[in-house]
Amino acid sequence: MNKQVQLHHWGLIDYQQAWDKQEQIFAETVACKVANRGRAVEECVSTPNHLIFCEHPHVYTLGKSGHETNLLANDDFLRTIGATYHRINRGGDITYHGPGQLVGYPILDLDNFFTDIHRYMRLLEEGIIRTLADYGISAGRIEGPGHERLTGVWLGNDNDGSRSVGPARKICALGVKASRWVTMHGFALNVNTDLSYFGHIVPCGITDKAVTSLQAELGHPVDLTEVADRVKTHLAELFEMNLID
């Protein structure tokens, strides 16, 4: 079990370019696993793990289980606000990425950690919850109207704490893909995000919940690099990773 994880900082990067780079790393990892199946144990090669941090220019992405009707703008309008749109191969519905948002793409071989996709999702959420606690914000998970758990990290509703009272609002979205226990895509934490861009979609297909950001909750901008450092520290603890920068 290889728990070394290579850390990558891609900065502000076009969504399609980042997706292509993810796909390449993902394919190489899966190919390594497939090749190992034909080797003797002593000849097997450890599969690599990666944790990528980046930002994207304004873009809307729709997951494979999503509905295009949750995009409330046409192509002409998207051009006027400088945004693009992609249908992609993660789970979940529609979301927004843009400057000031911390996007994390863990490309992990879960055979190196644990083979439980639900535990994987909950630990990603927990890493964000602990990061928000570092800023005095109480966050957590909430249930939908049918008592199903709503993926992501939320403030308000059943969460308490002086900075998280009020109606439920999402601060971090999650959407992943996994094949042969190798993951890709990940999470998007609103730090200094322009929340007006969420007004052109039904975020994650949920009509009765709001969105928020660290900046909106604290009343001032937050250093994105500092937030990324806190997130990586918490994820390293939760997954027992050995991060290599």
List domains and CATH numbers for the chain: 4-244 (3.30.930.10)
pLDDT tens per residue across span 16-39 = 999 999 999 999 999 999 888 888
Whether the CB-CB separation of 153 and 128 falls below 8 Å is answered with yes
- pLDDT number for residue 157: 62
Nearest-angstrom CA–CA distance, 217 and 5: 32
167 pLDDT band (50/70/90 cuts)?
Answer: confident
Q: Does the pLDDT at position 164 exceed 80? A: no
Of the pLDDT bands very low, low, confident and very high (cuts 50, 70, 90), residue 40 is confident
Task: Compute the average pLDDT of residues 187-203.
Answer: 94
CB neighbour burial string for 56-78, b if at least 16 within 10 angstroms, e if fewer: bebbbbbbeebeeebbebeeeeb
Residue-averaged pLDDT of the chain: 91
What's residue 160's pLDDT? 46
Which of 23-27, 84-88, 202-206 has the least mean pLDDT? 202-206
**Can 204 be counted among the known catalytic residues?**
yes
Region 123-140: mean pLDDT is 96
Q: Which of residues 145 and 207 earns the better pLDDT score?
A: 207
Indicate if the pLDDT at residue 162 is higher than 50: no
Position 194 scores a pLDDT of: 97
- pLDDT reported for residue 127: 98
Q: Is 23 exposed, middle or buried (0-12, 13-18, 19+ CB in 10 A)?
A: middle
- Provide the pLDDT for residue 52: 98
